Structure 1
């Protein structure tokens, strides 16, 4: 057996060679019992140790830790904080993620449908692949690179519409392509549309799609990109509670007072879309959200960016 004698640099070796990093030793793993004791030593009230261990074994200490940041001061829990306080915050957040996911779904599907319809009828079935119809060629190249990877995954998964079109035409018309595009790819294509993508003697494609949402293109571009970010957080079970969002939605002038980097502006964006496209659905959605929040009355809504009159704001008719 031959032995590879070539030296391999470790992470620490690489850092030392670069001369720019100094790492601390990684902490040892703790048992679930030790994790409970660590939380108790920092001032958390835990009445049922067995139940605490069970929750940690299902949820992960490091995930839970993100939910107690608002209960912590200088490395210790605020006096009187209980494990139930943290668990209620976690459960509210889980319910909110499901609510957001459910609310974004129809918007994503409508955006795919509208983009495919208007791009296909105005510019042709393969127009989405043509640089001519997009403002930033480099961004379009990146979108196409992502799309090709998505198409290959669909081929490996034997998605029927993909197999059929690839075998018959060697390509995917846009009405088939949008069915396998990620929301990110789709929203970036929309946001990159040039005025050259237009109907003969008619509106541009970006205007036609925005009209389907009864909103100006500049808002729809921002909203689709923002909702893609939120959808991905929800899809990966990432924390919404007390998160500072890295995607900021452009707000209508009437809503600028609600602008910010927490979750509430997202709900305002959803409200504005639903009241334009599916106004009959919004009252039930707000009722569902209200029921969820009432279920956990002890959870502070300020870390979500909710104002005191949040119910009135999201339920009011405009």
Structure 2
């Protein structure tokens, strides 16, 4: 049952005092107050959440799924008190590391997004310059099956989003095409205003032969597997774009893994539920794609240097790169 929000507004000084009262060590109070003013208590709380003490094992209700009964699971509930040795600067250091990780991830996702625009527009454009408008060029589940809630096909919903992106675009190339040729614009023009989610959704609706053709360029034989990769990468892109915590996030939309022989770098993730739900799997997927796009890419070596040299020392709190989901021997692989 929803309950009234009862937490009071606190001044920055009171916020810091609350942390101290709960056991957090603060060695430089003016600097800590400056961080709270610049970054915010709530955002930083996502990083010191892992510093909090936990209760003993207890039974809790697991959120129910529609049509299924509630389930009880055993968990350790986070307490307000911090673990011994938890420092305010540890949370800030973890925040700074996470920011660098997000920026590096976005750098790679930009390259992947641009390459994907070319692949999708070139493949579909071969059939028709306005292929994105043609239901017959897509899979039936995308183009003809109606969503029981909206009464629309997924293709129709996609076209609504596409139309909004074209309408809002202020790009000179879009203005030029509209004025000279009118609407619709050809797919190789339209794709330049699509975001990662729009690309991912359209790829997921393509016919299997077209999906496979594109996926093979990225070293995957199965286009449906590649579609799950793109959905997961869109998820992590949204996390990064909204400046949310990435380093130990639980990945909700998990990708399918190809056969080990196809992508050996992902061998350590097969059958490991923890690592399958952590960001390092997606980072390894990104590295695989980056090497396909540009074999001389240094992105992987930059990622390795970031993880090895800039993850803060948090052993005193029981935190390390396992929270990211690294697999055994990851640092020894070619990057």
Kindly provide the CA deviation profile for residues 122-151 of structure 1, in whole angstroms up to 9, marking residues without a partner as x: x11111111111222211111111111111
- Rounded to whole Å, the distance in 1 between the matches of 2:327 and 2:211 is 34
Q: State the partner residue of 2:177.
A: 165
**Residue of structure 2 aligned with 1:33, choices 13, 37, 53:** 13
Q: Does 1:181 align with 2:161?
A: no
Q: Which residue of 2 aligns with 1:279?
A: 295
Partners of 2:239 and 2:245 within 8 A in 1: yes
Q: After superposition, give the CA deviation of every residue in 1:151-199 in whole Å (9 maximum; x if it has no partner).
A: 1111xx3x1121122222321110011000111111111111125xxxx
What's 2:46 paired with?
66
Instruction: Name the structure where strand makes up a greater proportion of residues.
Output: 2
Matched-pair contact (CA < 8 Å) for 1:242–1:304: yes
Match of 2:326 among 306, 310, 315: 306
Q: Structure 1 residue aligned with 2:104, among 87, 99, 104? A: 99
Partner of 1:234: 240
Tell whether 2:129 aligns with 1:125.
yes
TM-score (norm 1): 0.83
Deviation, 1:308, is 4.8
Mark the runs of 5 or more structure 2 residues left unpaired by the alignment: 54-78, 144-152, 261-265, 270-274, 315-319
CA contact (8 A) 1:214 1:277 kept: no
> 4+ runs of 1 displaced by more than 6 Å?
none
Number of equivalenced pairs: 281
* 3-state DSSP of counterpart to 2:247: coil
Superposition RMSD on alpha carbons, in Å? 1.7
CA distance in 2, matches of 1:128, 1:166: 17
Shift of 1:46: 0.2
Are the aligned partners of 1:67 and 1:241 in contact in 2 as well (CA < 8 Å)? no
- Structure 1 SS opposite 2:313: coil
Question: How many Å separate the matches in 2 of 1:290 and 1:145?
Answer: 41
Query: How has the CA–CA distance of structure 1 residues 192 and 256 changed in structure 2, closer, same or farther, with 3 Å as cutoff?
Result: farther
Residue 149 (structure 2) pairs with residue 144 (structure 1): no
2:135, 2:155 within 8 Å by CA — same for their partners in 1? yes
TM-score (norm 2): 0.79
Task: Tell me the SS of whatever aligns to 1:291.
Answer: helix
